[in-house]
Amino acid sequence: GDLPLDLFAAIEALKQELNAVILAHYYQEPDIQDIADFIGDSLQLAKAAADTNADVIVFAGVHFMAETAKILNPDKMVLLPDLNAGCSLADSCPTEAFAAFKAAHPNHLVVSYINCSADIKAMSDIICTSSNAVKIVQQIPIDQPIIFAPDRNLGRYVIEKTGRDLVLWEGSCVVHETFSEKKIVQLKIAHPEAEAIAHPECETSVLRHANFIGSTAALLKYCEQSPSQEFIVATEPGIIHQMQKQAPYKHFIPAPPLNNCACNECPFMRLNTLEKLYSAMKNRSPEITLPENIRMAALRPIQRMLEMSV
Ligand code: 13P
Ligand code: SF4
């Protein structure tokens, strides 16, 4: 269809017209981050969605994030610029297989990473994100057996940090799996002053070389506060836009993928574009909808997370 010449101005106008708020994840393309009302990691975005007074939430992120916003706001319209913006981690945990896994581990509490479908959330006791997973598991009584799904890398990291024995679902993220230990070591040798920082979704072989491990928001804060001038960044490179904005004179090197065919950008996050964001607002579509019984069941573990992470 026809696109206005000044997309930024057109989106601003639609924002007023709809009384909309644009929430964007750090992995979105820079233009989307620049037009967003709020940028954050998945926990900050869930909190922003829980707190907003807007009538329409335009979610510039992936499906499970927009779905979480809808679970928290059944009466608001939640728009996602591209409905195909999924997540390999969420896809790695299909509903029926997970129901069988849960049945095979009776008496276990289910802690699920927010990167999962509403169906999986509905089968969970507590949701967590990469920024509060350790804190949440630490609050669970020591003799309580726990299933942790769907990310095995974050799960292993939580096991290491808490000393707890978690039953892990074997899911992983396509982006964080592509980082190469060898290339990070080579980069560290070439840049001896640089600090390596990594998201806990990375493989253990990569995390072992990190000077700091944290969620996207924690990585951003670390880069601002550290006296270092150079960082090797092992997470989706969209975050570097904010790192560079808050510290223009520091140098950020995106960690390279395993082979040159692979890309370290999240193929799902990057389906959203400024053009699709504009069209979604103009057409009030694609909209996120959910059956009420699933929404109610998925809300409970999200609320527990919000209570446990204040
Ligand atoms: P954050 O919790 O750091 O926002 O991570 C979300 C995500 O999708 C990482 O791949
Ligand atoms: Fe999912 Fe990985 Fe993309 Fe995050 S970076 S949305 S975990 S596929």
d(CA 37, CA 281): 14
How far apart are the CA of 247 and the centre of ligand 2, in A? 25
Chunked in runs of 10, what are the mean pLDDT values of the chain (310 residues)? 88 98 98 98 95 97 98 97 98 98 98 98 98 98 98 98 97 94 95 98 97 98 98 97 98 87 87 98 98 98 94
pLDDT at 262: 62
Residue 308: left (phi > 0), alpha (psi -120 to 50), or beta?
A: alpha
Residue whose tokens read 């610029």:
81
Instruction: Count Cβ atoms within 10 A of the Cβ of residue 9 and give its class: 0-12 exposed, 13-18 middle, 19 or more buried.
Output: exposed
How far apart are the CA of 90 and the centre of ligand 2, in A? 8
Find the angle CA(291)-CA(293)-CA(298) to the nearest 5 degrees. Answer: 95
pLDDT at 261: 59
- Residue 268 CB–ligand 2 contact under 6 Å: yes
Bridge partners, 230 (sequence order)? 251
Bridge partners, 198 (sequence order)? 213, 234
Residues with CB under 6 A from ligand 1: 41-42, 115, 129-131, 173, 199, 201, 215-216
- Residue 28 CB–ligand 2 contact under 6 Å: no
* Averaged pLDDT score across all residues of the chain: 96
| CA of 27, closest atom in ligand 2 | 5
pLDDT at 2: 78
Atom 3 of ligand 2, nearest CA residue: 266
Bridge partners, 40 (sequence order)? 25
How far apart are the CA of 203 and the centre of ligand 1, in A? 15
Note the pTM of the prediction, 2 decimals.
0.96
Q: Single out the residue of 64, 42, 53, 37 nearest to residue 288, CA to CA.
A: 64
ipTM metric: 0.97
Cβ-based neighbours of 279, under 8 Å, separated by 6 or more:
1, 81
d(CA 44, CA 55): 19
pLDDT at 5: 86
Q: What domains lie within the chain, and their CATH numbers?
A: 7-86+269-290 (3.40.50.10800), 89-174+297-308 (3.40.50.10800), 179-254 (3.40.50.10800)
| CA of 42, closest atom in ligand 1 | 4
> pLDDT digits over 229-285, tens only?
999 999 999 999 999 999 999 999 999 888 765 679 999 999 999 999 999 999 999
